Structure 1
Amino acid sequence: MRLLLAQVSLLPETLSRKVTPWQLPSLAVRHGFQGVEWLDRLLPSLEPRALRRLGYMSREAGATDNALSLSIPYDADPGRLHRATQRCLALLEACPSLGVGAVRVDLARSGVNLGHLLEMVSSWRSHKYQGGDPLGWAGRLAYLVLARAGLARDRGHGTTPPPSPRAELDRAVRALLPLARKAADLGLALGVENHWGLSGRQDQLLYTIHQLREYGVGVCLDLDNFYGDQNALSGVAALAPQAVHVHYKAHAREAEAEAARLDYRARLGHLQRSGYAGMFSVEYDGPPPGLSGSTRAARVLREMWEGRSDGGC
Structure 2
Amino acid sequence: MVPSRREFLKHTGLAGAAVALGQAGEVQAGPPVGEATTPLVVPPRRHPIGVSTYSFWQFRGERLGIPACVDKAAAMGFDGVEILHVQMQDESNAALQAIKRQAHSLGLALVGLSTHQGFVSPDAELRRTNVQKTLYQIDLAYRLGIPTMRINTGRWGTVKSFDDLMTRKGVEPSLEGHSEDEAFGWVIGAIEKLLPRAEECGVVLGLENHWGLGRTAEGVLRIVEAIKSPWLAMTLDTGNFLERSYEQMGQMAASKVPIALVQAKTYFGGGRWYSLDLDYAKIAAILQEEGYRGWISLEFEGSEDAETGVPKSLALLRKHFS
Question: For this structure pair, what is the TM-score category when the shorter chain's length is used for normalisation?
Answer: 0.7 to 0.9
- Superposed CA deviations along residues 149-175 of structure 1, whole A, max 9, x for unmatched, are xx7799575376689632211111112
- Superposed CA deviations along residues 17-52 of structure 1, whole A, max 9, x for unmatched, are 5x4222221221121112211111111223333222
- Cα distance, 1:180 vs. partner? 2.8
Partner of 2:93: 48
Once residues 12 and 204 of structure 1 are traced to their aligned partners in structure 2, the CA distance between those partners, rounded to angstroms, is: 26
Distance 1:104 1:196, change over 3 A: same
Question: Which of 72, 75, 78 in structure 1 is aligned with 2:120?
Answer: 75
Of Structure 1 and Structure 2, the greater helix share is in 1
Equivalence map 1:4-43=2 (5 Å): 4-11=50-57, 15-16=61-62, 19-43=64-88
Partner of 1:107: 153
Equivalence map 1:1-313=2 (5 Å): 1-11=47-57, 15-16=61-62, 19-76=64-121, 77-111=123-157, 157-158=168-169, 165-227=180-242, 230-241=243-254, 242-253=258-269, 261-306=277-322
Q: Is the contact made by 2:120 and 2:186 (CA closer than 8 Å) also made in structure 1?
A: yes
Once residues 299 and 93 of structure 1 are traced to their aligned partners in structure 2, the CA distance between those partners, rounded to angstroms, is: 34
Q: Is the contact made by 1:223 and 1:236 (CA closer than 8 Å) also made in structure 2?
A: yes
Q: Is the contact made by 2:159 and 2:165 (CA closer than 8 Å) also made in structure 1?
A: no
Once residues 243 and 28 of structure 1 are traced to their aligned partners in structure 2, the CA distance between those partners, rounded to angstroms, is: 23
Distance 1:202 1:285, change over 3 A: same
Give 3-state SS (helix, strand or coil) of 2:108's partner.
coil
Of 176-185 and 235-244, more deviation after overlay is shown by 176-185
- Superposed CA deviations along residues 166-206 of structure 1, whole A, max 9, x for unmatched, are 22111111121232332222222221111123111222211
Once residues 146 and 82 of structure 2 are traced to their aligned partners in structure 1, the CA distance between those partners, rounded to angstroms, is: 8
- Cα distance, 1:15 vs. partner? 4.2
Give the AA of the match of 1:91: Q
Q: Is the contact made by 1:74 and 1:109 (CA closer than 8 Å) also made in structure 2?
A: yes
Q: Is the contact made by 1:246 and 1:279 (CA closer than 8 Å) also made in structure 2?
A: yes
Larger radius of gyration: 2
- Superposed CA deviations along residues 187-235 of structure 1, whole A, max 9, x for unmatched, are 22221111123111222211100122223312111112113xx311111
Once residues 276 and 302 of structure 2 are traced to their aligned partners in structure 1, the CA distance between those partners, rounded to angstroms, is: 16
Once residues 277 and 48 of structure 2 are traced to their aligned partners in structure 1, the CA distance between those partners, rounded to angstroms, is: 24
Q: Is the contact made by 1:46 and 1:91 (CA closer than 8 Å) also made in structure 2?
A: no
Question: Alignment RMSD, CA only?
Answer: 3.1
- Cα distance, 1:56 vs. partner? 2.3
Once residues 303 and 182 of structure 2 are traced to their aligned partners in structure 1, the CA distance between those partners, rounded to angstroms, is: 41
Once residues 183 and 291 of structure 1 are traced to their aligned partners in structure 2, the CA distance between those partners, rounded to angstroms, is: 35
Give the AA of the match of 1:96: Y
- Cα distance, 1:75 vs. partner? 2.3
Identical residues among aligned pairs (%)? 22
Partner of 1:127: none
TM-score using structure 1 length: 0.74
Once residues 13 and 162 of structure 1 are traced to their aligned partners in structure 2, the CA distance between those partners, rounded to angstroms, is: 26
Residue-pair matches, total: 266
Give the AA of the match of 1:202: A
Show structure 2 runs of 5+ residues with no match: 1-46
Once residues 213 and 104 of structure 2 are traced to their aligned partners in structure 1, the CA distance between those partners, rounded to angstroms, is: 37
Give the AA of the match of 2:138: L
